Chain A
């Protein structure tokens, strides 16, 4: 089917008697397909990638997505006529085949602002990804991108701290922050755990981090962990003269438990607490409120996102999750490494970073950004690059992501042959040497390995790190890349 075939006429039934006769109508006849609709500045806009079942017309499928994510039910209901139902209907206004992928279509849908409760991610997602993803006429559906109108953005409080204020609190400027996840993930006692934290921070890292599944297990009760970790943090701060932190994971079974843990972290003087994405949107917004009230940086680990963000044909793109999390209000979010062990095409990952850090996102198809997004001065989220990265990739990381990012070298710190402090030194020296060289005007993408080699001449720990991991890369084809056709420019 060609694009022209798809752009079918509006087939909305305008005669009220016909429209509300009991029975089943096509979604497009009910008014969910409006090809001449011009989206309003206050509309929420969504781009879905849909895979209709065999024989289902893509326009009808798009109209169904609009219907099922807004007011429609499977049959005509007369009670619609008690409402200004035209406002409540989402409108599919454009359908195009996905370039180079047979059977898949991009469907653009506009939602009136009245459909959503102010400041509620739970409410927004209940509509947009509520029923529609299980809808039978579709084999698969994916929410690729979303435009949140400024009017709606302003109802969210956003990050409690934001990356600018975070830097001011930490007194760290002009370079990426350095972190590491304490390893092994599971099994360390509180006392042993604090040792790893102390070594990493004293060696030169800015942050250490609990892993997503470190909560309060038999081998280490949460209070024990917090006490030992904070001793390590303060000792390291005195040893270096720097502000240090460790993300204390307060994820727990109930909000009451999480508040209790967060309060204790605050009492001990931690600058940051951490939550996992799996606690849910409402819990995230509650913790964001708590963090704002208590001057705490809120770190979000995106645990679980891979179940619905990774496959291209079904689920929710991570750029949409990133937008929701910026609205919901987190200060850190894991957003991929592009060069590490976890999934991520470099351009697509840069798209996630831009969503977190820019005041305004222009349309940027190669990076998967389909809509303009004005963030209305909402604070910026610090993206975190974590998973299988090491000092030998420093030039690539800084070239891809710039300064506003936390680079987390877990194994790349703790696995250093000369110990954790040496691992931290290697990472910090590589980082500072690379930032310095970039500022001096060097082309770090090309000269990066040479710059690292030179730095290693005066820093043995870095030399050891490069000798150990220098050659390690994770080159697999990414599963989630941007699909777009380059249209010849008019000019």
Chain B
């Protein structure tokens, strides 16, 4: 039974007039401006997506190829939107992506912006980003994985699910690994609920390639592969200056050049993690600055003293130590 009868024996007429448009008509809404759009300009004006692209350009140092790919994808999304509006395309195109690159190359940051772009163009409803790793998806015992994965998927619906180091889901050396179960559930949702969420798989380029080769099902559902290059020394220097400015620090006389030298040495060493290593190096420099100032108990410290990193704060790094070979951490 789908409709109450409202029949009261002996009183009101027992067959009420039917609602001509059916019960569901109550929330059928007029097509919004986005659905009426017929030109690129109209979609851009309605979605305000250009603002996000401009912010991306301005806020992120380097990454030229990534930025170009995002512009291309945005263009495709706008055109697809127009095609859907004219009925040339019924289905939402697959939007799942892979972000490959070394650590600290901006994958998470770009994923956040991508979620915003997809949201503004109407490809995801809410535009939030849920970032997870294997531990969030895969359980410890039988029957644990499915509810865990489903719970994460439910939280991500309406937005973007970002799986960092996705290849850890697949452990060929252990054939009873629960990761396989998570991958299968993921595959189902990626295929059947394209309207509900977009999945971004991220990690090192080579390991992702191996992962995709062993999981062709996943690979075939990825529409866009974005490769994040390492930053050049100049770009890293620029990133460092922005990080310092945000926290009200700056390089003092000669320190900028020393930091440049530091970067040139550091990128040669193992475990280099691009922007993340820059942040760590600056954090250690701040520690040394603090110790230096702490030692001068009676000195009155002005704005300049408190904001300036001196060459000495950088030169104490092990990276500059004679014959240093290992990781530079403290």
Contact = CB atoms under 8 A, between A and B. Distances in A.
Direct contact of A and B (CB under 8 A): yes
B23 A458 contact: yes
Given A440-B27, A454-B26, A458-B23, A418 B8 contact: yes
A482 interface: no
B258 to A, nearest CB: 49
Given A419-B8, A422-B8, A460 B17 contact: yes
B17 A418 contact: no
B26 A436 contact: yes
A457 B6 contact: no
B210 interface: no
Interface string B1-36: 001001010011100111110010111000000000
Interface string A251-281: 0000000000000000000000000000000
B284 to A, nearest CB: 45
Interface residues of A, number: 18
Contact of A459 (B16, B26, B27): B16
A464 interface: yes
B2 to A, nearest CB: 11
Given A440-B27, A454-B26, A458-B3, A421 B19 contact: no
Contact of A460 (B12, B23, B26): B12
B31 to A, nearest CB: 16
Contacts of B26: 433, 436-437, 440, 454
Interface string A431-458: 0010011001000000000000010011
Contact of B12 (A418, A433, A440, A454): A418
Interface string B196-224: 00000000000000000000000000000
A422 B12 contact: yes
A425 interface: yes
B109 to A, nearest CB: 33
A336 interface: no
Contacts of A419: 8, 11-12
A461 interface: yes
Q: Interface size class for chain B? A: 10 to 19
Contact of B17 (A422, A458, A464): A458
B12 A461 contact: yes
Interface string A405-425: 000000000000011011001
Contacts of B19: 454, 457-458
Contacts of B18: 457-458
A421 B16 contact: no
B12 A464 contact: yes
Contacts of A458: 3, 16-19, 23
A440 B19 CA distance: 19
B286 to A, nearest CB: 38
B27 A457 contact: no
B16 A460 contact: yes
A262 B20 CA distance: 51
B8 A421 contact: yes
Nearest to B12: A418
A127 to B, nearest CB: 55
A169 B15 CA distance: 36
Given A436-B26, A440-B26, A440-B27, A457 B20 contact: yes
Contacts of A203: 8
A421 B23 contact: no
A460 B13 contact: yes
Contacts of A429: 6
A457 B11 contact: no
A454 B28 CA distance: 13
Contacts of B6: 425, 429, 459-461
Interface of B: 3, 6, 8, 11-13, 16-20, 23, 25-27
Given A459-B6, A460-B12, 12 more contacts: A418-B8, A419-B11, A419-B12, A433-B26, A436-B26, A440-B26, A454-B19, A454-B25, A457-B20, A458-B16, A458-B17, A458-B18
19 contacts: A203-B8, A418-B8, A418-B11, A418-B12, A419-B8, A419-B11, A419-B12, A422-B8, A429-B6, A433-B26, A440-B26, A454-B25, A457-B18, A457-B19, A459-B16, A460-B6, A461-B6, A461-B12, A464-B12
Q: List the 8 shortest-distance A-B pairs measured between CB atoms, nearest first.
A: A458-B19, A460-B16, A418-B12, A418-B11, A457-B19, A421-B8, A419-B11, A440-B27
